[in-house]
Chain A
Amino acid sequence: MTASATRRHPGLNLDHGDEAAQLQTEELMFGFWIFLMSDLVLFALLFATFGTLRHALAGGPGPQTLFELGSAAKETALLLASSFTFGLATLSMKHEHATGAVLGWMGLTLLLGAGFLGLEVHDFVSMTDKGGGIDRSAFTAATFALVGTHGLHVTFGSLWIVVMMIQVGLIGHRRDDSPTHAAGRRKLVDRVHNRMLRLALFWHFLDIVWIGIFSFVYLGGLAR
């Protein structure tokens, strides 16, 4: 086994570190994968709840009245684009492009995420205005819970992006930036890299959950 073959960790890879740092990264990434899978179970059960309650309108408005296809399409486009831009942010980091490039892609991702959240708030307000607030029926409650939980995740992800932009700005992302305090600095940069990797997993994961939401909640509800 060559050294680089043992340097492995789940999923994405920003790989350059030494053996110990690599082991640390492996642990962190595996732990984060486990967290994501636990979160996936949570979403799966929210989907199941939505599935069992999707016809429980209690005389209230249904998906055809409440959902807007255009809005769902825009949200999908924004989130998909943000997944792509965040991928470019991690690539820029891995290939040690200028800090400005990394920050630029991250900033763009943040804007797309914010746009997504804005549209989602618009959806919720418009549903409530049309008489389909969270307290109207089991169907609206299940919709708000599922879509809202995803939105909450995107909100926390956005906050995380802000924090990471600050850290990339303060600490930098290149390992050979400064010859002084090399070891200590390197650890900090490693930490930034590890956090970016986990954030990337989180962001891409949210996009996968969104596939389920637009397909089964919005398109499934609007299909005739």
Chain B
Amino acid sequence: MSKAPGYRDELRSYVVGIVLAVLLSGVSFALVAWHPASLRTTLWVISVAAALQALVHFRCFLHIDLSRQKRDDLSLIVFSVLVILLMVGGSFWIYDSQMSLMQPSAA
């Protein structure tokens, strides 16, 4: 049985979290501010950085991890993400299909 983590250990988690978060959002902002990459690459990097940053926040600030006693919340979050993917993904699929049939093509 591990000892309850001390103040310093827990503080470290927050510090790691804030450093990673600053780095990840910094990359995204830098790409848009100085646009060194193509639009396509920029959008991809922003998306990936956002997803990673969300994970960092969940791990370091909300303390959700894979340990046994967090299973309840983890499965709740995973189920929520599934529902959201169904809803949002389905909506975009439907919407794109409608738009493609409604509007004259760009060419």
Say what secondary structure dominates the interface of chain B: helix
Q: State the CA gap A15–B63 with chains docked (Å).
A: 14
Separation of A81 and B61 alpha carbons in the complex (Å): 12
> Is A2 within 8 A of B53, CB to CB?
no
Q: Which residue of A lies closest to B31 (CB)?
A: A223
**How many A-B residue pairs lie within 8 Å, measured between CB atoms?**
125
Distance in angstroms between the alpha carbons of A216 and B51 in the assembled complex: 11
Q: CA of A2 to CA of B68 in the docked complex: distance in angstroms?
A: 14
- Docked-complex contact A40 and B84, CB < 8 angstroms: yes
Q: Which residues of A contact B (CB under 8 A)?
A: 2, 4-5, 8, 10-13, 15, 30, 33-34, 37, 40-41, 44-45, 47-48, 51-52, 69, 72-73, 76, 80-81, 83-84, 87-88, 91, 94-95, 201, 204-205, 207-208, 211-212, 214-216, 219-220, 222-224
Which residue numbers of B lie inside 8 Å of A, CB to CB? 1, 4, 7, 10-11, 14, 17-18, 21-22, 25, 28-29, 31-33, 35, 39, 42-43, 46-47, 49-50, 53-54, 57-58, 61-64, 69-70, 72-73, 76-77, 80, 83-84, 87-88, 91-92, 95
